[in-house]
Amino acid sequence: MFEIIFFTSNRTKTQHAQYLVRNYDVKISNFREKTYHANYDEPRISDREKLLKESLDSAKDKAISAGLSPNQPFILEDTSVIIDALSKNNIEYPGTDIKYWMRETNFETIDLQLLFSNNNRNVIVRSDLVLYLPIIPPYEFYFSSYTKGTITEKVNYALQTNPIYPWLDNKTFNKWFCPEAESTIISEMPIEVADKYDFRKGAFQDLLIFLHKKNLIKNKTKTTRIQRDASFLSSLHIVVGLSCTGKTTIADYLAEKHSFLHIEASDFMHLIYLETHGERSDVKIGEFAQRILKERPTLVAEKVLDFLEKYNWSNVIITGFRKAEEVDFILDNYLTSGDIKVINITASSELRIKRKVIRNRSETTNTTENLEERDLRELGMGLEILQKRSGILTIENNETKSIYYEKYSSECLKSDTYNAETIEKSKIDGNKQRLYDLVIITLYRLKTDGEKSNYLTTGEICRNLNNFFMLDKPKFRENIGRLLNMKFDVFFEVKYDKKNRRKTYRLSNTGVGHAKLLLKKYSL
């Protein structure tokens, strides 16, 4: 697939670009996913042509410093806003200074200025896109597009960022911009309407047409996804059920006893959330998950499928799916002769409440009413339909763990096709092992019971790692920071410490499952 690096520190811009190219076999990757180097230097000047040229020159230098391939294409984009009534003497206002202007301006100020300018609220929002394509002279290509409209007369202070399409937000100029003859701001529009007025859309369309003509990209076909070979799978268990029924408990048992790889679907939902909004967003993960499952019900399953292909483990247990479409996507897209089961775990609400309190999660539910609210949400997402499907095994978990394990083993591990994963032990050498694996093992060794594990800074991870492994050359906090900060990873949960203004980390359930298999492989 043709890859383009996007030079931007703005996560939302990257998400927007990926959305705009979704119908082509082209991959937009953020510069920070490739390197820990700083972004390009953008001059704060009003001359658009000069700004783009100097920005491009800086981006070229940064690409070289970061060690990117000399033939690596990349893009950068500049957004500008031209308010008709306040632009004088051929000088656009605020023009290319829009992102700084938005930080310094409130709606009351701009509204008053427009009222004193005959209430001329006409405005143009413009996008300038630069493509650096070192394999085709003259190497530098420019595309632009714009949308005309007006500045709204009434601001919506209760506006929330769109959970799935974060460029329709409550922070940028979109929160005040009514495109063309519309009376609704673009951030409040349904995506199919907002697409019609997308000021970046034309520039990206021209970019795609250009690359298509150069035979560098193709349109994605609309045919059904080709089934993938999963001959490596001996056993695949897809376990569903309400919160605290025992899904993770049985996954831990299978990982310890039979070397199953545990994949927690909600970890992939969190990953998609972080990739979309980052760790500091005020968008609620619950609302985001509900919208994703409604509008793109197989997205999590697609991520899980890619993960399965990457690790090729023989015995796998997946927990946390909420919709029948997710389960069907896995089953329909994998060709395997292995043992595949879908299992529904049930337990009484009284026991689930007790388990919830013991877990001490941040969202601890300690009343029947609150547990019922959570149940209704999960059932409404599609779990109720999934539980009622024919062919699903149902196992009750209302007694001791040993009885639960015995029931599960009797019902689900009796197939002749089931084979336990064999792992050849080797001694772990911290001096030769990947830093990635050392970080995972370190976080696992620091994990406490249930979900009480603390989130740790990169400095704390580094200190514990160096204490656990007697290294000839100790690792540095900066090394771990680069590893964890370049991009989000399904193995790690990320939490932003507002007080100290830094990211903190702990293992996700999927990360715990991976750590257990690493420890089975290596002797400490």
Per-position DSSP letters for 229-245, written without gaps between them: E-TT-SEEEEEE-STTS
pLDDT in tens, the chain (524 residues): 899 999 998 999 999 999 999 999 999 999 988 887 778 899 999 999 999 999 999 999 999 999 999 999 999 999 999 999 999 999 999 999 999 999 999 999 999 999 999 999 999 999 999 999 999 999 999 999 999 999 999 999 999 999 999 999 999 999 999 999 899 999 999 999 999 999 999 999 999 999 999 999 999 875 445 566 666 678 899 999 998 999 999 999 999 888 899 999 999 999 999 999 999 998 999 889 989 988 999 999 999 988 988 888 888 999 999 888 999 998 888 766 678 899 999 999 889 988 888 765 544 444 455 788 888 888 887 888 888 888 899 999 999 999 999 999 999 986 544 444 444 555 666 666 789 999 999 999 998 765 568 899 999 999 999 999 888 889 999 999 989 988 899 999 999 999 999 999 999 999 999 999 888 877 65
Residues with Cβ within 8 Å of residue 490, at least 6 apart in sequence? 267, 268, 271, 303, 307, 508, 510, 511
- Which pLDDT does position 450 carry in this prediction? 54
* Predicted local distance difference test score (pLDDT) of residue 103: 94
Please tell me whether residue 512 adopts helix, strand or coil conformation: helix
Burial (Cβ within 10 Å: 0-12, 13-18, ≥19) of residue 433:
middle
pLDDT given at position 223: 46
Task: Tell me how crowded residue 8 is: count the other CB atoms within 10 A of its CB.
Answer: 21
3-state class of 389 per DSSP? coil
Strand boundaries in 187-271, DSSP class E = 228-229, 235-240, 261-264
**pLDDT value for 309:** 83
What confidence score (pLDDT) does residue 429 get?
63
- Per-residue confidence (pLDDT) for residue 432, from 0 to 100: 61
As a whole number of angstroms, the distance between CA 500 and CA 180 comes to 44
- pLDDT for 335 equals 63
What is the bridge-based pairing of β-strands 339-346 and 235-240?
Answer: parallel
- CA 236/CA 238 separation, integer angstroms: 7
**pLDDT at site 43:** 93
pTM reported for the whole predicted model: 0.86
Q: What pLDDT, on a 0 to 100 scale, did the predictor assign at position 376?
A: 87
